[in-house]
């Protein structure tokens, strides 16, 4: 037969190899475009698992309950103030917390701001997101998902409370305000929002009708007496310069008090500024230092302050208070 009708074996193999290579390339292009389309549909962002209550007493990983998300590690001394991502170091600058109803996309929605002097009535509120939907999951910070401080604007009548939350996100606690005047209710919490922890401190005013007689801020001292305990502090808080502050508690018999952990630490220090009731909630080092509770504190700005120190002895919580001037 003529040579033109014959096809060499080597050329046949080359043609088949070229076909396979072209087919593979076509399949690869299809796969790449399909992957791109799927990525677009999913916004190319993997889902983040929601925090759980792993590590909570009586709970296992993957479980949750209303008002409780993950437990925040608060073993290092730190300060609570304006809204921020939980776990970050907070520099208070020239502000304090609790000055606004809203911060960081969260709002304190109060049921009623009107109170009657000397009468217990329920304080109810919700923490809502930017769309007005109540938040129902909170991280546990120092044994509680939310801390509430109530104080009159002259910095008297201080109360450190822990309300409970209903499944619909309504927080409530019975509250008695002893005297007429304007009070500040400050909610200190870490909410779980979109799988992230947002620490915030929001405030709202409560009004007690009647003749308001403001009390002058006591003179600055470093020693105070409460329930027979002598409580004093060493240190000089400064503006935007973190300084140590050591608190000593002496029992009524003159011996060092046997301090017990309260809400996860040996003491809690709430610092409130005169005028706007700017709020700091300072937690101490995990261990006592020569029997003393050591905090690290930077004042938000110059002015006069009232410091409230909560401590526990023999299962009972006591509160000492001092005035402080920061220049």
The token pair at 16 is 């088949």
Rama region for 31: left / alpha / beta (φ>0; ψ in -120 to 50; rest):
alpha
pLDDT classification of 300: cutoffs 50, 70, 90: confident
What digits encode the pLDDT tens for the residues 204-215? Answer: 999 999 999 999
Q: Is residue 68 part of a domain?
A: no
Range of the domain at 283: 223-326
Q: How far apart (Å, rounded) are the C-alpha atoms in residues 177 and 158?
A: 10
Residue 134 CA to its chain's centroid (Å): 17
Q: What is the mean pLDDT of residues 4-10?
A: 38
What pLDDT score does 312 carry?
Answer: 98
What pLDDT score does 290 carry?
Answer: 96
Q: Is residue 46 part of a domain?
A: no
> Is 17 a residue whose pLDDT tops 50?
no
pLDDT classification of 68: cutoffs 50, 70, 90: low
What digits encode the pLDDT tens for the residues 127-183? Answer: 999 999 999 999 999 999 999 999 999 999 999 999 999 999 999 999 999 999 999
The token pair at 48 is 């983040």
Task: Classify residue 115 as exposed, middle or buried by CB count within 10 Å of its CB (0-12, 13-18, 19+).
Answer: buried
Of 280, 319, 270, the residue nearest 301 (C-alpha) = 280
Q: Is residue 158 part of a domain?
A: yes
Which is more confident, 38 or 22? 22
Q: Is the dihedral of CA 107, 112, 113, 118 positive or negative?
A: negative
Domain endpoint, select from 177, 208, 239: 208
* Phi and psi angles of residue 250, each rounded to the nearest 5 degrees, phi first: -115, 130
Q: Is residue 315 part of a domain?
A: yes
Considering the domain architecture, whether residues 120 and 154 belong to the same structural domain is answered as: yes
Q: What is the mean pLDDT of residues 76-83?
A: 45
- Residue partners of 67: CB distance under 8 A and separation at least 6: 136, 137, 138, 145, 146, 164, 165
Q: Is the dihedral of CA 96, 97, 99, 103 positive or negative?
A: positive
Considering the domain architecture, whether residues 138 and 235 belong to the same structural domain is answered as: no
Q: How far apart (Å, rounded) are the C-alpha atoms in residues 173 and 161?
A: 8
Which is more confident, 120 or 23? 120
Q: How far apart (Å, rounded) are the C-alpha atoms in residues 57 and 197?
A: 21
Q: What is the mean pLDDT of residues 180-194?
A: 97
Residue owning tokens 């009159």: 152
Q: Is residue 22 part of a domain?
A: yes
Q: How far apart (Å, rounded) are the C-alpha atoms in residues 237 and 325?
A: 9
User: Domain with 96 in it: what CATH number?
Assistant: 2.60.40.1930
Q: Is residue 48 part of a domain?
A: no
Q: Is residue 71 part of a domain?
A: no
pLDDT classification of 2: cutoffs 50, 70, 90: very low
Considering the domain architecture, whether residues 153 and 101 belong to the same structural domain is answered as: yes
Task: Classify residue 60 as exposed, middle or buried by CB count within 10 Å of its CB (0-12, 13-18, 19+).
Answer: exposed
Number of domains, the chain? 3
pLDDT classification of 327: cutoffs 50, 70, 90: confident
> Is 71 a residue whose pLDDT tops 60?
no
Which is more confident, 118 or 62? 118
Considering the domain architecture, whether residues 111 and 139 belong to the same structural domain is answered as: yes
Q: Is residue 66 part of a domain?
A: no
Q: How far apart (Å, rounded) are the C-alpha atoms in residues 125 and 158?
A: 19
Q: What percentage of the chain has pLDDT greater than the value 90? A: 67
Considering the domain architecture, whether residues 19 and 138 belong to the same structural domain is answered as: no
Considering the domain architecture, whether residues 204 and 82 belong to the same structural domain is answered as: yes
Least confident piece of the model among 20-34, 218-232, 235-249, 290-304: 20-34
């Amino acid at each position: 037969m003529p040579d033109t009708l014959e096809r060499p074996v080597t050329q046949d193999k080359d043609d088949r190899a070229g076909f396979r290579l072209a087919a593979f390339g076509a399949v690869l292009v299809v796969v790449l475009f399909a992957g791109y389309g799927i990525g677009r549909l999913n916004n190319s962002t993997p889902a983040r698992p929601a925090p759980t209550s792993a590590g909570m007493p009586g709970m296992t990983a993957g479980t949750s309950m209303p008002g409780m998300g993950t437990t925040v590690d608060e073993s290092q001394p730190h300060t609570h103030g304006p809204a921020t991502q939980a776990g970050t170091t907070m520099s208070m600058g020239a502000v304090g917390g609790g000055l606004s109803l809203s911060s960081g996309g969260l709002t304190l929605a109060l049921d009623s701001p009107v109170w009657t002097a000397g009468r217990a009535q329920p304080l109810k509120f919700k923490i809502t997101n930017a769309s007005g939907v109540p938040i129902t999951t909170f991280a546990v910070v120092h044994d509680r998902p939310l801390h509430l401080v109530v104080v009159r604007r002259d910095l008297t009548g201080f109360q450190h409370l822990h309300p409970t939350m209903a499944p619909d996100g309504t927080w409530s606690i019975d509250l008695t305000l002893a005297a007429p005047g304007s009070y500040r209710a400050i909610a200190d919490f870490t909410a779980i929002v979109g799988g992230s922890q947002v620490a915030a401190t929001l405030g709202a005013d409560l009004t007690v009708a009647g003749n308001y007689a403001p009390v002058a801020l006591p003179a600055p001292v470093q020693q105070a007496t409460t329930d027979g305990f002598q409580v004093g502090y060493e240190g000089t808080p400064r503006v935007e310069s973190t300084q140590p502050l050591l608190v000593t508690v002496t029992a009524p018999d003159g011996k060092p008090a046997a301090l017990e952990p309260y809400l996860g630490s040996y003491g809690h220090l709430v610092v409130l500024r005169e005028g706007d009731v700017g709020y700091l909630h300072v937690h101490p080092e995990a261990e006592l230092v020569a029997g003393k509770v050591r905090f690290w504190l930077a004042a938000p700005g110059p002015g006069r302050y009232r410091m409230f120190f909560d401590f526990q002895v023999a299962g009972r919580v006591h509160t000492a208070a001092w005035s402080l001037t920061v220049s």
